[in-house]
Chain A
C-alpha cells in the first residue's frame, strides 16, 4: 500500500491510497467512506439494486460481530468472505463491532474481547480472533482491542489506561500470530488508538501503536455522547499529529455529515457509512445539498419545499435521548402528510436509485410503502 497526499492544509488531507487489494492494483481516494454491511450484505439491498448507485465505495466494511459465528462455515468454504457474500470484486475492512448496535460493556478481559452476533456473545481471544480473520481473508482488519474507557457513563483515567495497555498487548500478540500465517500476512492490520478522554493516554496509545508495523490506524472511542465535541476534536487532532503521514487514519462510530467534516479537519481520512442505514430505519430520507458553492452571491439556490437545505456548518438538532423523527437536519420524514402528494424526487439532481432519471422514487410513493412496512421502501431509502 502506498499513500499519496495531493493536498494537506491545517491538519486535513486529500489523497489516494494506491497498490491496494490482493493484486495491488486498486486505489482508494480519501477522505472517503466504506460501504456499510450487515452480515456481509448492504442492508436491504441486493447486488443489482446496489449497483444502481453510481459511486459505491471501493472498500466494504464487514463487522466481526456479524460474521464470527459463521467461522466454521467460512473455514470450510476456504475462499474468503468476499466470494462467500457474492462481492468478489470488492475490498474489505473488517471492524470488530457494528457501529449501529452498541454492545454491552464489561466483557473485555486481559485475554479476550467479546463480540455480539445473532446467536449471542462470542469470546475472542487473540488466537481465536486471528483464526477467524484467517477464514475471512479481509484486505484490512481492525486489531483486537479494548474500546471501553468508561466507568458507567463517565470516563475513568484508570480504565482508559487499561484500555491502552490491553490494546497494545493484543496488538503485539496478534502481530506475532500474523507472522506465522501466510494468509494473514497478506492482510493489513489496522492498529487501534484508545485512551478515552485522557490526553496523555491518547498520546501514549498513538505513539506506541505507531511504533508497531501496522498498515493504518483506527481512532476508537470518539463516538457517543460521553465526550464533548470540543474535547473530541482536540483529542483527534492531537492523535493524528502523532501518527505517520503515510498511513491512513480511520474512525469508527462517526457518521453524521457535519461530524465527518469536523473529523476530516482534524486529520481523519476514512469513515463508516452506517448513517444512511440509521436514517432509513426511522423512515426518513437524506435530503441535504452537499454542493459546495464557491460564490454564494452568484449562485441561485433551489429551495426544496419548505425545508431549508441543511447547511453543513449550522447543523443543530443532534440526536438526543428523545427519538424525534426526523432526528437531524439532514433528513426528511417521509411519513409526514405533506409528502403524500409530492411527486418530486427526494433530492433534485441526485443520481441515486431514487432519481427520476433512472428509476423515479417519488416522495409520495414512499409514505404508502412505509405505512405498509414494505421492505422495498427501506431498500429504496437505504441507498
Chain B
C-alpha cells in the first residue's frame, strides 16, 4: 500500500517541512516537535502566511503572542485568552523559575497545568531579564550570575540551567540562553556576546532532554553590526534547530537601524523554519516586519499600555481616562468583537478607570489583546488573498491620516520589499 501523500493545493506549493521520523538506527534525530507549512506568500514583499504545528496544536502565522508574567496573563485568564482565539502565549522563565520554582511547577503538571492553559506556550530563557536588571548580574562564560531579588540568594543561570528550568516548565517552544547586550552598545562586547551566544546555543541544544516535545529556538545576535549579525546567522543556521529568533533588537536603537537588521536576518534565515522577532509589538512595526519576512512576535506593549487605561484602535490609541471620553457612548472600536466592546462604552470604562475597581484594567487588557490578534488575522488573510500590499497601504493611511505622514523608516522598509507607499 502506498504511503499517503500530502495533498497538493494550489496555495501550498510544497509538502510539510517535517523531519522524517522513519529513519532507524543510532544517532537518529528525534521526531520533530514542530512543522512549518508555508500556505501563501505575498509575491512582492517577503511576507508569508504559514501553519505552525506544535505539540499543543496548530498556530496560524503571522502570529502575535501575548506575554504573561508570573504564570498568568496580568488581568486576563487562560480561559479568556483561549476564547479570544489565542493559540500561543509567552510564559516568563525568569520570574517563574525563581518563583514558584521549577520543582513546584513540575508538581503542578508543568506550566500548562499550572496555568490551566491547553494551547501552546513559549518560554523565555530568563536571560533577557538580566539586561533589564543589569545591576544584579555578571556575565561569564559559565552563565549569568545574579542575586535573586526575592530571597537574596546567588544564582547562576547557565545555558544548562535555563534549559533545565524550561524542560520542567514543558513549554512548546524554548529559547536558548543568549548573551544579551543592549542594542545601543558598540565595540568588542557586542562581538564577544555574539560568539558566546553561539557557544551557549550548542550547550542548550545538548542540554535539551526533550527535543521530541519541546522546540529549542536559536536567537540571532550581533547587535546593529551587519558583519557580526551575518556571521551569527551563518553559524547558527548550521545548527539543527527547529526555529530562529531575531534578538538583540527592539531596545533603544533607531528604527532605521532596526529594520535593516531585521531584513538582513530574514534574508539569511531558512525559508522553511519560523522566524520569531522578539519584543516587537506596536501595530506599525508588526505590519512592516511581516513584510520583511517575520512570522512570530511578542511584546508587553498591549498589556502594559492597558494598565494605564490606553486602548488600541486602528488610528492609534485612546487614553480612556481623559475627560473627552466621559460622555462617549461608543465602544472602544465599533468593529471589534471582543467582550469589552460587545458590552461596554468608552464612557463607562472612563468612569470605571477613575474608580479603584481593577475590573477596568481587565476590560482594556482584554480589548488590547483582541486588537493585536485581530490585526494579525487581518494581515494573514490579506496575504492569503494576495492583497497584502493594499492592506499595508490601507493600514498606514488609517494610522497616519495620509501616506505622507508615515514614519520614514517604515516607508523605506516597505519600499525595500516592493511596497511603495505613494
Residues 335-366 of A at the B interface (beta carbon under 8 Å): 340-341, 343, 359-360, 362, 364-365
**B76 CB contacts on chain A under 8 angstroms:** 376
* Inter-subunit contact B352/A369 (CB<8 Å): no
Interface string of B58-79 (1 = CB under 8 A from A): 0000000000011111111111
Number of A-B pairs, beta carbon distance below 8 Å: 113
Q: Which partner residue on chain B sits nearest A374 by CB separation? A: B70
Known: A375-B75, A376-B72. A39 touches B352 (CB 8 A): yes
A77 within 8 A of B: yes
CB within 8 A of B74: which of A52, A341, A374?
Answer: A374
CB within 8 A of A360: which of B116, B345, B348, B355?
Answer: B116
Q: Which partner residue on chain A sits nearest B76 by CB separation? A: A376
B362 within 8 A of A: yes
- Please tell me which stretch of A43-51, A159-167, A251-259, A296-304 contacts chain B, meaning at least 4 of its Cβ atoms lie within 8 angstroms of it: A43-51
* Inter-subunit contact B348/A84 (CB<8 Å): yes
CB within 8 A of A364: which of B70, B100, B363?
Answer: B100
A225 within 8 A of B: no
Residues 335-380 of B at the A interface (beta carbon under 8 Å): 339-340, 343-345, 347-348, 351-352, 354-363, 366
* Inter-subunit contact B362/A40 (CB<8 Å): no
A195 to chain B, nearest CB (A): 33
Given the complex of chains A and B, what is the CA–CA distance between A362 and B116 in angstroms? 10
* Inter-subunit contact B357/A38 (CB<8 Å): yes
B264 within 8 A of A: no
* Inter-subunit contact A369/B71 (CB<8 Å): yes
* Inter-subunit contact B99/A44 (CB<8 Å): no
Given the complex of chains A and B, what is the CA–CA distance between A367 and B354 in angstroms? 28
**What is the size, in residues, of chain B's interface with A at 8 Å between Cβ atoms?**
44
A379 within 8 A of B: yes
**A27 CB contacts on chain B under 8 angstroms:** none
A145 within 8 A of B: no
**A84 CB contacts on chain B under 8 angstroms:** 345, 347-348
**B300 CB contacts on chain A under 8 angstroms:** none
**B351 CB contacts on chain A under 8 angstroms:** 39-40, 70, 73
Residues 49-96 of A at the B interface (beta carbon under 8 Å): 49, 52, 66, 70, 72-73, 76-77, 84-86
CB within 8 A of B70: which of A41, A48, A368?
Answer: A368
A371 within 8 A of B: yes
Given the complex of chains A and B, what is the CA–CA distance between A360 and B344 in angstroms? 28
* Inter-subunit contact A368/B99 (CB<8 Å): yes
**A77 CB contacts on chain B under 8 angstroms:** 327, 329, 347
* Inter-subunit contact B357/A374 (CB<8 Å): no
* Inter-subunit contact B107/A86 (CB<8 Å): no
Tell me which of A43, A45, A48, A52 has the highest count of chain B C-beta atoms within 10 A of its own C-beta.
Answer: A48
Known: A48-B80, A343-B107, A369-B70. A39 touches B100 (CB 8 A): no
* Inter-subunit contact B77/A66 (CB<8 Å): no
* Inter-subunit contact A66/B359 (CB<8 Å): no
**B95 CB contacts on chain A under 8 angstroms:** 372
Q: Which partner residue on chain A sits nearest B354 by CB separation? A: A118
Tell me which of A40, A52, A86, A369 has the highest count of chain B C-beta atoms within 10 A of its own C-beta.
Answer: A86
B149 to chain A, nearest CB (A): 12
B329 to chain A, nearest CB (A): 6
Given the complex of chains A and B, what is the CA–CA distance between A371 and B340 in angstroms? 28
B114 within 8 A of A: yes
B241 within 8 A of A: no
Q: Which partner residue on chain A sits nearest B73 by CB separation? A: A376
**B403 CB contacts on chain A under 8 angstroms:** none
B89 to chain A, nearest CB (A): 14
CB within 8 A of B108: which of A40, A44, A73, A362?
Answer: A362
Q: Which partner residue on chain B sits nearest A343 by CB separation? A: B108
A232 within 8 A of B: no
**B363 CB contacts on chain A under 8 angstroms:** 46
B104 within 8 A of A: yes
* Inter-subunit contact A45/B359 (CB<8 Å): yes
Q: Which partner residue on chain B sits nearest A117 by CB separation? A: B355
Known: A73-B326, A77-B347, A364-B108. A41 touches B357 (CB 8 A): yes
* Inter-subunit contact A39/B326 (CB<8 Å): no
Given the complex of chains A and B, what is the CA–CA distance between A170 and B92 in angstroms? 58
* Inter-subunit contact B343/A372 (CB<8 Å): no
Given the complex of chains A and B, what is the CA–CA distance between A372 and B96 in angstroms? 11
A47 to chain B, nearest CB (A): 6
* Inter-subunit contact A39/B355 (CB<8 Å): yes
Q: Which partner residue on chain A sits nearest B351 by CB separation? A: A70
* Inter-subunit contact A378/B99 (CB<8 Å): no
* Inter-subunit contact A44/B358 (CB<8 Å): yes
**B366 CB contacts on chain A under 8 angstroms:** 46
**A362 CB contacts on chain B under 8 angstroms:** 108
Interface string of B242-273 (1 = CB under 8 A from A): 00000000000000000000000000000000
Q: Which partner residue on chain A sits nearest B307 by CB separation? A: A375
* Inter-subunit contact A118/B355 (CB<8 Å): yes
* Inter-subunit contact A73/B362 (CB<8 Å): no
A42 within 8 A of B: yes
Q: Which partner residue on chain B sits nearest A75 by CB separation? A: B327
Given the complex of chains A and B, what is the CA–CA distance between A66 and B360 in angstroms? 14
Tell me which of B345, B351, B359, B362 has the highest count of chain A C-beta atoms within 10 A of its own C-beta.
Answer: B359
**B71 CB contacts on chain A under 8 angstroms:** 365, 368-369
By Cβ-Cβ distance, the 7 closest A-B pairs, closest first, are A39-B355, A86-B343, A372-B70, A41-B359, A38-B357, A375-B358, A86-B344
Q: Can you list 9 A-B pairs, Cβ within 8 angstroms, ordered by A?
A: A40-B352, A77-B329, A118-B355, A360-B116, A365-B114, A367-B100, A369-B71, A372-B99, A379-B362
Name 4 extra pairs, CB < 8 A, besides A41-B360, A365-B114: A45-B359, A66-B355, A359-B78, A379-B77
